[in-house]
Amino acid sequence: MALAAALPVLYLAAAIGDDARAAAEQVWSSRTFGLLARSTGLAVAVTATAVALAVPLAWLTTRTDLPGRRVWATLTTLPLVIPSYIGAYLFVSAVGPRGMLADVLGPLGIERLPSLYGFPGAWLVLSLFTYPLVLLSVRAALVRLDPQLEEAARMLGKTPMQTFRTVVVPQLGPAIAGGGLLVGLYVLSDFGAVSIMRFDSFTREIYISFSSSFDRTGAAALGGVLVALMLVLLWLQSRVRGSLTLHRAGPGSPRPARTVALGRWRWPAIAFCSAVVLVALALPVGILVYWAAQGISSGLAAASVATNAVHSLLAAGAAAAVGALAAIAVALLAVRYPGFLTRTIERASFAGYALPGIVVALALVFFATRAAPFAYQTLGLLVFALTVHYLPLAVAPIASALVSVSPRVEEAARGLGRPPLEVFRTITTPLVAGGVLAGTALVFLHAIKELPATLLLAPTGFETLATDIWRQTGYGFFEASAIPSLVLLIVAAPPLYLLSEKGTITS
């Protein structure tokens, strides 16, 4: 399985091997470094923003008496279902210079809005549609957190603020780092949003090399740089995770935390939640509904949408199931048996996520046509590709859930005579169920909006919602693309709802 996850990296190695000198020249050009700096800067800015949005939202929706807490929990997670390429396009048409908003403000004497293109647009869109990755992992961690530690700190005379800073935040470290890592890698590998926002990024360069110059070696060299960058990020994250022992040592299980009464801080809290939901969810969905209504009224046929939705569900559902199973194995190895080999396996699993979809897709084209021609362009291969691409999304939450389960519980069970598999089934699995659920849902949500691999590897004629959207927007039929986009949101929402509900079920 580690081999499967490493296929994209092997492909890069093969492509670089074609002409190692040209590859080296490409890497050492000053342009490469400029782009790398730009992309890293964007990734850092987006990750910081995502954390800044997500941590307060997570706290408000798990630990306080915020009115409508469950509704906010769901609404603030939902932006994750909006693919960044659709989000970017919607923002350009809504608040771009001379967009819809400018049309509205025109009569008020405002001629032109400031341009959204470039860094600001890419930063805004990617932050708004990726912060739920941090939100989900932090919320899960908050729910798991043992309140006794906080109570002890309070009894020892710390103020609530001091307690939060010195006791709660450090314990959230692995969750913030895990979610932040996913956001950072997502930004590094994103192509849709940056190209629509006309932000010159590293991934855009890879796409250009691959697809307009057929420069496989150069593109692979750049892909290699991305993998190296990913290793640095993983190293940072492992330092956060590795330096802490976060599971309880004593027996028993934590009791739910006491709810914090917000008092008059309720109103700013609601305002904050509303602002996020308005910009990240209501605005884009509103535009989609408007377009869809226009499209339907002008007689657009939406006949194939149902079939495409079934295809999307099928591919993404299977990828989520396979991904979750594989991720449990990877996470278990990495957390319970830390060592060089298991660490390498875990890191290899991240390669597929850090690389742009087109690289993963072409890697599988390369290997499948040679090693497994019978499987080429079948549903099986597509599911395999989606799993390889999104495996880390499942590994991260499962690993952070495992970190907070004391191995002594398992040891005790084994000491009492249960065989290891039985222990895994009856003890470990229930304790990390939240993490597994989160991982499964995350893979599902990403797989359902994936594009490049689906276009190249799905069975011929197997249209999904994402390929339909691509087909329509590629030709400027935005009204027609609004219908499959909305269906995509509707189909993706239930697993996400399940995910955000989890917090309230357990608490």
Partner 1 sequence: MILEEPHSKARSGHSPRPHPAGAAVAALVAGALLAGCGGSSSEPGSGEAEPEREGITLYSGRIAPLIGPAIDDYEVKVDRDVEARFGDSATLAATLVEEGDNSPADVFFSQDAGSLGAVDDAGLLAPLPDEVLELVPARFRSADGTWVGVSARARVIAYGPDVGPDELPGSPLDLTEPEWEGRVGWAPTNASLQGYVTALRLVEGEDVARAWLEGMVANGARAYESNVPVRDAIASGEIDLGLINHYYVAEAKAQEGEDYPVDVHYPPDGLGSLVNTTGVGILASSEEPERALDFIRFMLSPQAQSYFAESSKEYPLVDGVEPDPELVPLDQVPAPEVDLTRLDDLEGTLELMRETGAL
Binding to partner 1 (CB under 8 A): which residues in 473-492? 474-477
260 three-class SS: strand
Q: Which stretch binds partner 1 (CB under 8 A): 66-74, 210-218, 221-229, 344-352?
A: 210-218
Q: Burial, 75: exposed, middle or buried (Cβ in 10 Å; 0-12, 13-18, 19+)?
A: buried
* Residue 223 amino acid letter: G
Is 445 a binder of partner 1 (CB under 8 A)?
no
Binding window for partner 1 (CB under 8 A); candidates: 62-70, 274-282, 452-460, 484-492: 452-460
Binding mask 55-94 toward partner 1 (x if CB under 8 A, else -) reads ----------------------------------------
* Residue 268 or 430 having the CB closest to partner 1: 430
Choice between 183 and 365, CB closer to partner 1: 365
Q: How far is CA 426 from CA 8, 50, 76, 295, 418, in A?
A: 36, 36, 33, 52, 10
Q: What is the dihedral of CA 439, 441, 443, 446, to 10 degrees?
A: -140
How far apart CA 381 and CA 203 sit, in angstroms, is: 24
User: In the bound complex, what is the minimum distance in angstroms from residue 411's beta carbon to partner 1?
Assistant: 15
Q: Which residues, numbered 21-40, are part of the site for partner 1 (CB under 8 A)?
A: 31
Start-to-end CA span in the chain (Å):
36
Among 262, 270, 302, 313, binds partner 1 (CB under 8 A): 313
Q: From the list 121, 174, 352, 452, which residue makes contact with partner 1 (rule: CB under 8 A)?
A: 452
β-bridge mates for residue 260, sequence order:
64
Q: Kindly state whether residue 244 participates in binding partner 1, applying the rule CB under 8 A.
A: yes
Residue with tokens 């009115």: 67
Q: What secondary structure letter does DSSP report for 337?
A: S
Which residue lies nearer to partner 1 by CB, 342 or 472?
472
- Does 504 help bind partner 1 (rule: CB under 8 A)? no
| Residue of the chain from 314, 329, 332, 493 that contacts partner 1 (CB under 8 A) | 314
**Helices 30-63, 20-28: inter-axial angle, 10-degree rounding:** 70
Q: In angstroms, rounded to a whole number, what is the distance separating the alpha carbons of residues 202 and 208? A: 10
Q: Does 416 bind partner 1 (CB under 8 A)?
A: no
Does 322 sit near partner 1 (CB under 8 A)? yes
Tell me which residue has tokens 């084994």. Answer: 414
- Closest CB 351 distance from partner 1, rounded Å: 18
Q: What burial class does residue 493 get, using C-beta atoms within 10 Å of its C-beta: 0-12 exposed, 13-18 middle, 19+ buried?
A: middle
Site for partner 1 in 279-298 (CB under 8 A): none
The single residue among 251, 263, 299, 417 that binds partner 1, judged by CB under 8 A, is 251
Q: Which of residues 331-360 bind partner 1 (CB under 8 A)?
A: 358
- Alpha helices by DSSP H, listed for 372-432, are 379-403, 407-415, 420-423, 429-431
Three-class DSSP category at 64: strand
Nearest Cα neighbor of 435 from 354, 340, 357, 506 is: 506
Of 310-318, 336-344, 415-423, 485-493, the segment contacting partner 1 by CB under 8 A is: 310-318
318 binds partner 1 (CB under 8 A): yes
- Residue 184 in the binding site for partner 1 (CB under 8 A): no
Choose one: 49-57, 60-68, 206-214, 231-239; the region binding partner 1 (CB under 8 A): 206-214
**Dist. CA 150–CA 166, nearest whole Å:** 9
Helix (H) / strand (E) containing 55:
helix 30-63
Beta carbon of residue 502, minimum distance to partner 1 (angstroms, whole number): 5
441: nearest Cα among 231, 1, 133: 133
**Binding string to partner 1 for residues 124 to 153, with x set by CB under 8 A, is what?**
------------------------xx----
Which CB sits closer to partner 1, 261 or 421?
421
Applying CB under 8 A, does 214 fall inside the site for partner 1?
yes
The span from the CA of 74 to the CA of 81, in Å, is 12
Check: CB of residue 507 under 8 Å from CB of residue 147.
no
Among 380, 414, 418, 507, binds partner 1 (CB under 8 A): 380
Question: What mask, x for binding partner 1 by CB under 8 A, covers residues 215 to 234?
Answer: xx------------------
Distance of closest approach, residue 109 Cβ to partner 1, in angstroms: 16
Evaluated on CA atoms 262, 267, 272, 274, the torsion sign reads: positive
Find the shortest distance in angstroms from Cβ 506 to partner 1: 7
